[in-house]
Structure 1
């Protein structure tokens, strides 16, 4: 991947030859490069997960330690990252500002709406060369890729492992029953 650097006044814009994204931050630029190359240089020492940014690894490590540092002042729910904190706060006010123009379904974030809109348009921009499947969202592609790699990043204390968080949640209910 070739990167171009253009000067715009006193700001340096980092541009990608195969991507529409622009960045003024070298850190963001590097993360975007990792997205294209597939490189994930920040590895968890407790499991086999890897990340494109050090801060994502930090949040992930909090999950291992069950360290929820961010507290919602409205409902008392706690979260691993500050980014997750504002989403339920929006729910408390009843605000769902992003509306699907096809069916009226409402979303809290524009990113979630964008992924959902692809269900209506049929657009499936996320694919890999190893198989002919494509997906509406990047997260759906990542989940599918685990079928090829055998990765099971969600581990229970009983040592069972799962490729999807939802499957682990179902499994955890079996522990609650006993």
Structure 2
């Protein structure tokens, strides 16, 4: 049912099971009951210890699809994957570190630096740097609310507003 009756008294965290709350509480207490047999590493969760043990075993279950690189932890594979971005995103912003796969994406991004806003609302004086932002703005005039809550009759013009509203049902 998605019910989360167990609440942390130190933050807003809620859990569906008492064991999950107890695991969460270790973040606040700093308790690390899981110890490595090969070194002095300790972990707050069993999954963290299992990941650590891979460093001793040489186990590398995470493989790169673009080359023969393998990693013991997912975060290391994600870091490695960024080395392949140069091939997939050849268009570089000369102001910041943004990279794009298409020249049109870079041109749109550059407007964030230049302040250029070529899209103008025909109803008011609003201007936008991206066409999608103008389309979203137009909902303020049309009253369109395409994002509907599946738990009540609430509707929103912005997806972010619906996401924020959905949190009221989780309480």
TM-score by length of 1: 0.42
TM-score by length of 2: 0.44
User: Which structure is higher in strand share?
Assistant: 1
Which structure has the larger Rg over C-alpha atoms?
2
